[in-house]
Amino acid sequence: MNKLLKLQLSRIALLSGISFIAINASLNAIASWVEISKSPDNTPIYIDPERIVRKGDIVEFWRRNLFTTPQPDGAFGVDNYHSINCKKGLFRWRRSIRFDPNGRIVSENDIGKEDKLLEMQIQPGSIIEDFYKSVCPPVEEQVKN
């Protein structure tokens, strides 16, 4: 085998190894996340059960979407921080972090923590309703409290 061919094969092997590591790291990064819903294109949407915070009727949590194709900004996925008022059936988008296949932040956006204009009613059949059902106690239990 000539030196050029060996060099090309070495580069292919190296790039394949790097791709495998990036994909494997991404899969390991979601290992603790639990699937709660699916996007319209049938891609799983996850919650991090280890970072659910409960404060009375308010539940805060991280949600993760992985994209089926890389986005124009290089993002591979997005983590969104939400809060849900279980008693009132309201949710609020608190923070959004887009990341590349290596987990590096591509962009982030902090959204008003206490701005009442940002509260939205949870719609039946929505992805947020799936999270509401997952993190909030059943309505009967909420009435007792």
Handedness of CA 80, 85, 91, 94 (dihedral sign): negative
Q: What is the pLDDT of residue 15?
A: 39
**Signed CA dihedral, 132, 138, 142, 145: sign only:** negative
Report whether 116 contacts 91 (CB < 8 A). no
Give residues with Cβ within 8 angstroms of 87, minimum separation 6: 57, 142
3-state secondary structure of 74: coil
Count of Cβ atoms closer than 10 Å to residue 30 Cβ? 15
> Which residue ranges in the chain fall short of pLDDT 70?
1-31, 112-117, 139-145
Helix (H) and strand (E) counts in the chain: 3, 8
Q: What is the pLDDT of residue 110?
A: 87
pLDDT, residue 137, reads 82
Pick the CATH number of 33-144 from 2.40.37.10, 2.60.40.10, 3.90.320.10, 2.40.128.710: 2.40.128.710
pLDDT of residue 64: 96
| Residue 20, pLDDT score | 42
